[in-house]
Amino acid sequence: MLLKNLSVLYGQDLKYISADMPVLGDKFGKPGQKAAKAIDCEGLLLVPGFINMHTHIGDSIAKDATLAGTVDSKIHPVLGAKQRILRQTKPDHLVSFMKNSCFSMIRKGITTFVDFREGGPYGVRLLREALQDIPIRGIILGRVESYSDPFAIKKNLPLSDDAKKTLSEVVKISDGIGISGANENSDSALKHYSKTKKLRAIHSSETKQSITASKKMTKQSETSRALSLKPHFLVHMTHANDSDLANAAKKTRGIVICPRANSSLAEGIPNFEKMAKVGCTIGIGTDNVMINSPDMFREMDYLWKSHMGLHQTRIDPKTILKMATVNGGILLGRKIGSIQPGFLADGIFFDKHSLDLEPMHNPYASIVHRADSSAISAVMIGGKIIHGRL
């Protein structure tokens, strides 16, 4: 189809242009290139679909189930309230509420999400079931429910044979692995995980307590141990020091930050400007549905204003919008997150005349801190309109 008379945030720099944009199958063509079935898009702005780079939608059934207590008391992979709730919930209920979160994301312009899926092979299959009839692009990073205690970490005990077998199954049916953190894994276990051939990611330096625990157990920084996984990207890095950030820039594709989740857990706000200055590519995730809505509009607005308020420095809103779109594709190593030839045709059509956006003097600021789902006319994934209409 040919999208005529369209405003577009084009390419990896999100340049504002007016163009006739062809969609050829599931990919974008070159602006002005001919295509069948022309659609008049006068008054619409096409923006790359949002990429939610870090979620845990398995806990969609536990929204605000626990607000008080420490981070570990809420979301620790072994002892947290979240894990107790997941263990006690019927599978069909989990699937139902995961579906709800997927539909919610689509309506808010999220075309791809990356989920750290708990529960081993069984957990991956449940999410696959939830996604079966939903057109959103879900990238599932599975996990082996095998965790090293402090003794095993100090003794550097390897993964058990059963855990290795389960890992092979997880990798086979998922898009990669999402590890809870270095403090729950021995160096031997992390090295074994690093040999897997698909996408690898790990939480790191989310809390001051986790950093202290790593130093106490191993005399190493939590991030330096996390990097032994050879991850494609790290998640959080809220309290990482300058040395850890420099190493992350050298050894990974970048960092995914989750500002609202960190704030909800009273753990601070990540300094993405410092991360970027040492060469890290930054993506954004909304993290646990239990504590946070999967809403990239809220995430961008909160991050932009809170960072400027805390650090008393101006940030171009285009920087934030890139983190929610273009940078996600770079971190994943996929041709998504950008409107350009050969990239998957994922996008959000905004009504430029919607009440909260008109007049649109700065499209980047308008989307980062004024837009919400009410301004969306349609959402496109892989060249198909899957929400709204043109």
Topology (CATH level 3) of domain 50-332: TIM Barrel (3.20.20)
Enumerate residues 6+ apart whose C-beta is below 8 A from 343: 27, 28, 329, 335, 336, 337
Question: Quick one: which of 106, 1, 93, 122 has its CA closest to 50?
Answer: 106
User: Among residues of the chain, what percentage have pLDDT more than 90?
Assistant: 88
Q: What is the pLDDT of residue 105?
A: 98
Backbone angles phi, psi at 16, to 5 degrees: -80, 115
Percentage above 70 pLDDT, the chain: 94
CA within 13 Å, CB half, 195: 8
Q: Once rounded to an integer, what is the mean pLDDT over residues 161-181?
A: 97
8 Å CB contact between 168 and 198:
no
Contact 376, 110 (CB under 8 A): no
Q: Is residue 102 a contact partner of residue 138, using CB atoms and an 8 Å limit?
A: yes
φ, ψ (nearest 5 deg) of residue 323: -65, -30
Span 86-96, pLDDT tens digits:
666 787 888 99
Categorize the per-residue pLDDT at 78 as very low, low, confident or very high, splitting at 50, 70 and 90. low
Nearest to 230 by CA among 263, 265, 191: 191
List, for residues 197-226, the tens digit of each pLDDT value.
999 999 999 999 999 999 999 999 999 999
Tokens of residue 264, six digits: 């909800």
Phi, psi of 205 (to 5 degrees): 50, 40
In the chain, CATH 2.30.40.10 covers 2-49+337-388
Entry pTM? 0.94
Q: Could you read off the pLDDT of 228-271 as tens digits, one per residue?
A: 999 999 999 999 999 999 999 999 999 999 999 999 999 999 99
Kindly tell me if the per-residue pLDDT of 151 is higher than 80.
yes
Was domain 2-49+337-388 assigned CATH 3.40.50.360?
no
The boundaries of every CATH 3.20.20.140 domain in the chain are: 50-332
Predicted local distance difference test score (pLDDT) of residue 361: 96
